Chain A
Amino acid sequence: MTFLQLKDLKIHFPTDDGLVKSVDGLSFNLERGKTLGIVGESGSGKSVTSLGILGLHKGGRAKISGEVWLDGEELVSASQEHVRTLRGKKMSMIFQDPLSAMHPYYTVGDQIIEAYRIHNDVPKKVAKKHAIDMLGRVGIPQPDRRVDSYPHEFSGGMRQRAMIAMALSCDPELLIADEPTTALDVTVQAQILDLMRDLQRDFNAALIIITHDLGVVAELSDDILVMYGGKCIEYGSADDIFERPEHPYTWGLLGSMPRLDREVTERLLPIKGSPPSLINVPSGCAFHPRCAFEPRTGGKGSTLVPDLGETEGGHLVRCHLPREERRAIWATEIKPKLES
Chain B
Amino acid sequence: MVTYIIRRLIGALAMLFIVSAVTFSIFFVVPRLAGVTADDIANRYVGRAATAETVVAVAEKLGLHDPVVVQYGRWVKGIFVGAEYDYGTGVEFCPAPCFGYSFVTKQPVWPDLMDRLPVTLSLAAGASVIWLVVGVSVGVLSALRRGSVFDRGAMIIALAGVSLPPFFTGLVALSILSYGLGITAPGGAYVPFSEDPVQWAYSLILPWLTLAFLNAAAYARLTRAGMLDTMGEDYIRTARAKGLKERVVIGKHGLRAALTPIVTIFGLDVGILVGGAILTENAFSLQGLGKYATTAIAAQDLPKIMGFTMLAAFFIVVANLIVDLLYAVVDPRVRLS
Contact = CB atoms under 8 A, between A and B. Distances in A.
A115 B330 CA distance: 22
Interface stretch (A87-95, A130-138, A214-222, A267-275): A87-95
Given A150-B333, A152-B333, A102 B242 contact: no
A92 B234 contact: no
Contact of B235 (A88, A102, A152): A102
Nearest to A81: B245
Contact of A103 (B240, B241, B245, B253): B253
Contacts of A152: 332-333
Interface in A25-58: 51, 54, 56
A184 to B, nearest CB: 16
B28 to A, nearest CB: 49
Grouping DSSP codes into helix (H, G, I), strand (E, B) and loop, the B interface class, with mixed when no group exceeds half, is helix
Interface string B247-264: 000000100110000000
Nearest to B259: A105
27 contacts: A54-B241, A56-B237, A56-B240, A84-B244, A84-B245, A87-B242, A88-B244, A89-B243, A92-B241, A97-B234, A100-B233, A101-B235, A103-B235, A103-B239, A104-B235, A104-B257, A104-B333, A105-B257, A105-B330, A107-B332, A114-B244, A115-B243, A118-B243, A119-B243, A150-B332, A150-B333, A152-B333
Interface residues of B, number: 19
Interface of A: 51, 54, 56, 84-89, 92-93, 95, 97, 100-105, 107, 114-115, 118-119, 150, 152, 166
B328 to A, nearest CB: 12
B331 interface: yes
A84 B245 CA distance: 7
Among A87, A97, A103, chain B packs the most CB atoms within 10 A around the CB of A103
A84 B238 contact: no
Contacts of A56: 237, 240-241
A85 B244 contact: no
B243 A87 contact: yes
A103 B242 contact: no
Interface string B203-239: 0000000000000000000000000000001110111
A85 B256 CA distance: 23
Grouping DSSP codes into helix (H, G, I), strand (E, B) and loop, the A interface class, with mixed when no group exceeds half, is mixed
B332 A105 contact: yes
Nearest to B235: A103
B235 A100 contact: yes
A112 B142 CA distance: 31
B242 A88 contact: yes
A86 B331 contact: no
A16 to B, nearest CB: 12
B146 to A, nearest CB: 11
Given A56-B240, A84-B243, A115-B242, 17 more contacts: A56-B241, A85-B243, A87-B242, A88-B242, A88-B243, A92-B242, A95-B238, A100-B235, A101-B235, A103-B253, A104-B235, A104-B331, A105-B257, A107-B332, A118-B243, A118-B244, A150-B333
A105 B331 contact: yes
A95 B237 contact: yes
Nearest to B233: A100
Nearest first, the 9 closest Cβ-Cβ pairs linking A and B are A88-B243, A87-B243, A100-B234, A88-B242, A103-B235, A115-B242, A101-B234, A93-B241, A101-B238
A228 to B, nearest CB: 25
A231 B332 CA distance: 43
A90 B331 CA distance: 33
Among B233, B234, B333, chain A packs the most CB atoms within 10 A around the CB of B234
A56 B234 CA distance: 13
A150 B233 CA distance: 17
A161 B330 CA distance: 26
Nearest to B333: A152
Among B242, B245, B257, chain A packs the most CB atoms within 10 A around the CB of B242
Contacts of A118: 242-244
Contacts of A89: 243
B168 to A, nearest CB: 38
Contact of A95 (B234, B244, B256, B330): B234
B333 A87 contact: no
A157 B331 CA distance: 23
B236 to A, nearest CB: 9
Nearest to B241: A93
A292 B319 CA distance: 67
A104 B254 CA distance: 11
Contacts of A51: 237
A54 B239 CA distance: 12
A22 to B, nearest CB: 16
Contacts of A87: 240-243
Contacts of B256: 103, 105
A119 B239 CA distance: 13
Contacts of B331: 104-105
